[in-house]
Amino acid sequence: MHGDRMINRVTKLLAMVLGFSVHFAMAETPAANIQSITDEVDQQADMLMEKYHIPGMAIAISIGGEQHFYHYGMADVNAGIKVSRHTLFELGSISKTFTAILGSYAQSLGAFNLEDNAAKYVKLWEGTPIGNTKLINLATYTAGGLPLQFPNEVTTNDGMLAYYKAWQPEFAAGTHRLYSNPSIGLYGYLAALSMKREFSELMEQTVLPQLAMNNTFVKVPDNRVAQYAFGYNAKNEPVRVSPGMLDAEAYGVKSTSVDMLHYLEANMGLKPLSPQIAAAIKETHKGYYDTASFTQALGWEIYEYPLTLSKLLEGNSREMASQPTKVKASDDIVEKTGEVWINKTGSTGGFGAYVAFIPAKKLAIVMLANKSYPISARVEAAYKILAAAQE
């Protein structure tokens, strides 16, 4: 163990000299490999921050449960606050993976079923296309063409209910995937209705505590606002996410690199969890619809592994996020474990995030930034970093 402690001490000293912070939960990775991983992370972070004018980043990697944290730049430029392990970033659409867990948790209680139609929970929609839509199609963006965002005029709960009631699908359910906040957002909204509680309350009082994510929030509490980073828009103005319909369900979670790495380890079965929440996580890894690039699970996108960078970029392309794509129902609806790459991107007006994990390798990466920058750049950087972690 003396050698392990020495590796840890030398690495921390190196981190101080280079101006970033690194923490290892264990020091099992050989020192040479730690250095090559650190070099790759530094190189990618420096390139991204310079090219896209990103004020601050937090990158975290797990290798078989061994945690590595890297922090760069500023969480709040004007106040001179540096990014740290305590910095809260907006996760954007990575929030959808938590919504998926909440839905699976509701299902485990018998309150909710993926084969139910939406009208079971909102009688106003009986006899309408949305009312006849199955929850599984809402959760997988295959309801028939719900758009990426709500129309600007939808600003109230009554307006939202009326919008859904009047909605007309472009495609038959289960034939096309069109990435959509109103789709999975409604899934989360109905899951909360089934449990007769507010979504944000369920997330913060039930789901997140059971995941042991004590530094993750929908609404950042007053005593943590000082750790909440400012995002920076295209004009480099400080911004935070604006309120919107079903924002908590679709893109409203804020978290730290520490909590998010813990979350990915929990998804890989490396953390002790209650049987109920562990089962809910496994449900989110079941693949339901196949695209040409990946299988759509609940919140997550799942790729066969090993995979090429081009395949990963194809699945995370702008077209995949904004255009309808033909899908087919998966032959086997089972938990995808082992040789797969599971990922999710997230963006808000001032933040850009990416998370991925490879269960068979017990590898995971978290990339959080307080500026929205191209998803392709995030994916390529993560791919190269995880490649370095396997050398």
Residues recognised as catalytic: 93, 179
Q: Report whether the peptide linkage leading into residue 243 is cis, meaning its omega lies within 30 degrees of zero.
A: no
Measured between alpha carbons, how far is 285 from 289 in angstroms, rounded to an integer?
12
Measured between alpha carbons, how far is 13 from 17 in angstroms, rounded to an integer?
6
Alpha-carbon distances of 279 from 9, 261, 276, 283, rounded to whole Å: 38, 19, 5, 6
Measured between alpha carbons, how far is 244 from 345 in angstroms, rounded to an integer?
19
Measured between alpha carbons, how far is 94 from 293 in angstroms, rounded to an integer?
19
Q: Where are the beta strands (DSSP E) in the chain?
A: 56-63, 66-76, 81-82, 89-90, 176-177, 231-232, 238-239, 254-255, 289-290, 295-296, 301-304, 325-326, 328-329, 340-347, 352-358, 363-369
